[in-house]
């Protein structure tokens, strides 16, 4: 009975249907901003595998229920409870989630993601690796993990490492959300479509290929604010350490750079240093799947870090917005502390690519 109930719950939280020639996935937890659970990840993966083999399905569309966003990320309350209990449910979730991210990236049919509204963390993972990524004037795209003592995952370090100049490093450390124009600039999206055109776009996709339909709906997104900030961003984030980056930001004379420094200094010192190392390693690794393997090691090792539990407590559980990081300052985080996050995992079975 419990298994039947779980299956029914998953069917309600991920709606899968074929509309004409398009397989449509709707994340259906609008009250939770469509946050992903492990059963939801498995349901999406199952649908994609089935449609991959179905000649009647020519493309896939993913969207979020409600008008607030595609997906705000993973269920971090569950991760908090898992880390606090010292159990391994999060590792199993991440393994399947990262395999899904890799599957989306190599999907042989057009994969259209409607990145309307809030698209953060795991929401980026199920959208920004797709082949056709649509943003709107309501889009707010971010990898905000450093604010909860965590590190960008779901292939986020891969995406951010590929952004022009050092824009990705800026977004990774600050966790800042970007709008449509900056998402396009950073390579996180491909097309801008006004939100009020999405219903008509979706309806047309049932009968025609995305490459034909999008031309009738896409528009200009306007100027990208980050393009004007490239000068100070590229200079400041080229520094060797997080401490040096902050010093450059504070000394640049740019008000926005000072704001970035203050934002960074509010994040977990350990997560910041691991994030900088992770993005730089991702740039060297190049391909997505090796980066996902790296992210899996980092995420699993983060489960034993006090900052992950503390960050989620402060931001989501108690909502006092006053995390007590340990260590409390950047200077106290050693190279050995950072290296621990990249250490191999023992007895974890096949890797991400095995999915």
- In sequence order, the 6+-apart residues with CB closer than 8 A to the CB of 259 are none
- Distance CA(16)–CA(296), nearest Å, equals 28
Q: How far apart are the first and last CA of the chain?
A: 29
| Cβ atoms within 10 Å, residue 314 | 19
Neighbours of 291 (CB within 10 A): 28
Residues forming beta bridges with residue 118, ordered by sequence position: 69, 140
Cα separation, 355 vs 46, in Å, equals: 12
92 token code pair:
């199993």
Q: Which residues have a Cβ under 8 Å from the Cβ of 32 and sit 6 or more positions away?
A: 72, 75
Residue numbers annotated as active site: 74, 122, 145, 153
Q: Are 304 and 298 in contact (CB under 8 A)?
A: no
């Amino acid at each position: 009975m419990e298994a039947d109930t779980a299956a029914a719950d998953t069917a309600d939280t991920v709606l899968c249907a074929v509309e004409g020639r398009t397989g449509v996935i709707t994340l259906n937890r609008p009250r939770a901003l469509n946050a992903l659970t492990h059963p939801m990840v498995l349901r999406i993966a199952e649908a994609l595998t089935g449609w991959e083999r179905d000649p009647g399905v020519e493309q896939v569309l993913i969207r979020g229920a409600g008008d607030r966003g595609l997906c705000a990320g993973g269920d971090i309350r569950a991760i908090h409870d898992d880390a606090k209990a010292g159990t391994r449910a999060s590792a199993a979730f991440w393994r399947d989630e990262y395999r899904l991210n890799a599957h989306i990236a190599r999907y042989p049919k057009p994969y259209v993601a409607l990145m309307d509204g809030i698209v953060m963390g795991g929401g980026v993972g199920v959208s920004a690796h797709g082949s056709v990524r649509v943003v709107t004037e309501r889009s707010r795209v971010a990898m905000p993990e450093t604010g909860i003592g965590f590190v960008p995952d779901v292939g986020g370090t891969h995406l951010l490492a590929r952004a022009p100049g050092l824009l990705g490093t800026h977004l990774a450390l600050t966790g800042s959300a970007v709008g449509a124009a900056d998402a396009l600039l950073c390579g996180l999206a491909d097309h801008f479509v006004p939100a009020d055109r999405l219903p008509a776009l979706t309806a047309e996709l049932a009968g025609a290929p995305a490459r034909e339909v999008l031309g009738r709906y896409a528009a200009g997104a306007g100027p990208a604010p980050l393009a004007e900030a490239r000068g100070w961003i590229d200079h400041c984030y080229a520094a060797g350490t997080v401490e040096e980056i902050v010093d450059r930001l504070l000394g640049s004379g740019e008000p926005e750079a000072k704001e970035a420094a203050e934002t960074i200094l509010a994040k977990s010192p350990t997560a910041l240093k691991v994030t900088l190392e992770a993005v730089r390693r991702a740039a060297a690794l190049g391909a997505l799947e090796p980066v996902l393997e790296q992210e899996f090691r980092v995420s699993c090792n983060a489960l034993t870090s006090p900052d992950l539990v503390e960050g989620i407590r402060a931001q989501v559980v108690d909502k006092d917005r006053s995390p007590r990081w340990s260590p409390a300052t950047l200077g106290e985080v050693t190279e050995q502390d950072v290296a621990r996050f990249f250490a191999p995992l023992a007895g974890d079975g096949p890797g991400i690519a095995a999915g």
